[in-house]
Amino acid sequence: MYGLNSDGSVFPAYQRLNGLSPQIQRFDSKTFLQRGNGSALLLVGVTGDPLLEDIAGTVQSLQSGRYFQQPWWSSLLEKALIAVLLLYALWLMPKLGNGVRALLAILLLLVLATAQIGVQITQMLWLPLGVAIQFLLFATLMVTLWRKQQQPIEQLQRQHHDIAVPWSRHLLQQGQLDQALDALQFCRTSPDLLELLYELGGQHERKRRPAAAVAVYRVLQQRKRRYKDVAKRIKLLEQPQGMAPTALAPSLSKTVVIADSHSQPQFGRYQVESELGRGAMGVVYLGFDPKISRRVAIKTLDYSRYEGDELVAVKTRFFREAEAAGRLRHPNIVSVYDVGEDHDLAYIAMDYIEGQPLSDFTSKKNQLPAAEVLTIIADVADALHYAHGEQIIHRDIKPSNILYQRETGKVTVTDFGIARIIGEHSTQTGEILGSPLYMSPEQILGKKVDRASDIFSLGVTLFQLLVAELPFRGDNIAELSRQILQGKPANIRDLCPGLSAGVRRIINKALQKEPRERYRDAAEMASALRAAS
C-alpha cells in the first residue's frame, strides 16, 4: 500500500524533471522469459520513450518510498498565506519605506522557501507555496511603484500642510475662526492639526457659540474618532440651552468660576477668570489681557436680555460709559482700556481695582471713622472736579459706584453708564436716569443736569456714610421724590451729635434744593472737606 495525494498523484523523487533517471534494465521478450524473474515489473514500450521512463521512475519511487506527498491541509495553508500577505500588502506595506519594504520581502521569501525545503527534506511533504511567493513578489513590486508615484503628491501635501497650519493659527489668533477652519480643509491629519482643531472648537466655546463648536468637533472626530474629551464636549454642548454645566457653556446669568481652561469664556482677547459682581445692565468679570499680561475688569452687556428700542437705549448708555470714562485720566477715576462687541454681547475692559464699594460701609456695624469718610469724599470730589472740567457729568454718584481700598487709601469712582457728555447732540431734558435715593431735585424733575447735580449726590453719599442713614426717605418712589423736592433732610445733629459744625455746614450746603446755592464746583467742596477733617 502506498500513500497517494487526494487526486491519486505523487511527486516522485526520481522523475526526470528532477535531473534523475530511474534504474531501468532493458530486455527483449525472449531474454526476460528465459530469466524467469517473477518479481520484476515489465513495462512494454519503445526504448527511449520519455513517458515510459517517467512511469518507471514513479513506480521505482513508490517501491522505494522516495516520493513527496501533499498533505490534505495544504490548500487551506495556501489560502491562509495569501490572505495574510494581502492584508500585509494593503495595510502595512504602503506605510513602509522602500528599503524596509524590500528587506521584509527578502526575509519573507527566505522564510517561505526555507519552510518548503525543510518540510520536503524532513517530512517528505510537498507544500504549494509557489503561488504565495509569486503574490508576495508581485505585491511588493506594485506597492513600490505606487509609492513612487505618490511621493510627489505627498510632498505637495506636506508643503500645503506646513503653510496652512501656521496660517490657520494666525487666523485663529485674529479671531477669524471660520476662515481658520477653512484653511485646514485639505491638510493631512497630524498631531498639530488635531490640536489646532481642538483649540478652534474651544475658541467657539469661549465665544459662546455652541453650534459652531460642535461643527468643529465633528470635523475633528472624522479625522480621529477618539480625541481627548471631544465626545463629551459634543454631548454637553448639544444639551438644551441652560442645561449644560458652566464648565463647558457658562451663562451670563450664573456665577462663573472657570475650572476648564479649554472652554474658559473670552471677550475679544480678554480671558475670563471669575465673576466680580452684577450691575443694572450686565455682569462684571475679572479677566486677563494676554497681550500685556494685565488683569482687567470686564463689564458686559448681554444683548439677549433686551429687545427693540430698549436694547438701543441700553447700548447707548453702555457705550456712553466707555466714551466718558475713556476720555478721563485721573488717579481716582477708573481707566478704560478697550470697548467692543463680541457675538451676543458688548464689553468694556477697564482697570481692575482691588477694593470694596462704599456701600459695604453704610450700616452702623460697618461704619468708617468720620475723618476717614471726609478724606474719601474729598478724593471723590477731586475726581468729579476733573471730570466736570472734561465736560462730563457722572449723574449716578452713590456708595456702590465708589471703590475704596482701605489698606492703601485708594479711592476710585466707577460706573459712568449714565454720564452726560456736555455738548453732545442728544438732549437730556426729560430723561430721568440714576438711583432715586441719591438723585438731585433737578434729576427728579427730568431737567438738564450739570455739575451741581453730582455735588448733591455726593452730599447724600457723605450723609449716609457718616450716620448710616439717608437724608431723604419714603415708602415709595413718589414719597421719596416729594421729600427730595420739598422736604428737609434728616437732622444730622440728632443722628450724629458728635459731628463738628463744619461738617454739618458742608452737608447742608451740598444738599440745597437750588443748584446755584450749592458749592460752586467740586473742588470747593473738596477744600471744605479737608479743612473740616
DSSP 8-state assignment for residue 74: H
What lies within 8 Å, CB to CB, of 501 at 6+ separation is none
Cβ neighbourhood burial of 298 (10 Å; 0-12, 13-18, 19+): buried
Handedness of CA 79, 80, 82, 86 (dihedral sign): positive
- Within a 13 Å sphere around the CA of 268, how many CA atoms are in the beta-carbon half? 20
| CA neighbor of 169 nearest in space, from 135, 197, 189 | 197
CB 270, CB 288: distance < 8 Å:
yes
C-beta separation of 4 from 60 below 8 A: no
Count other Cβ atoms within 10 Å, centred on residue 296: 24
Active site residue 396: yes
Rounded CA gap, 338 and 322, in Å?
8
DSSP state of 305: G
Of 448, 441, 519, 517, the residue nearest 480 (C-alpha): 441
Residue from 342, 379, 382, 396 carrying the catalytic annotation = 396
Q: Are 419 and 320 in contact (CB under 8 A)?
A: yes
The grid coordinates of residue 295 equal 488683569
Count of C-beta atoms within a 10 Å radius of residue 168: 25
Rounded Cα distance between 326 and 320, Å, is 9
CB-CB contact of 269 with 340 (8 Å): no
Q: Which residues are catalytic?
A: 396
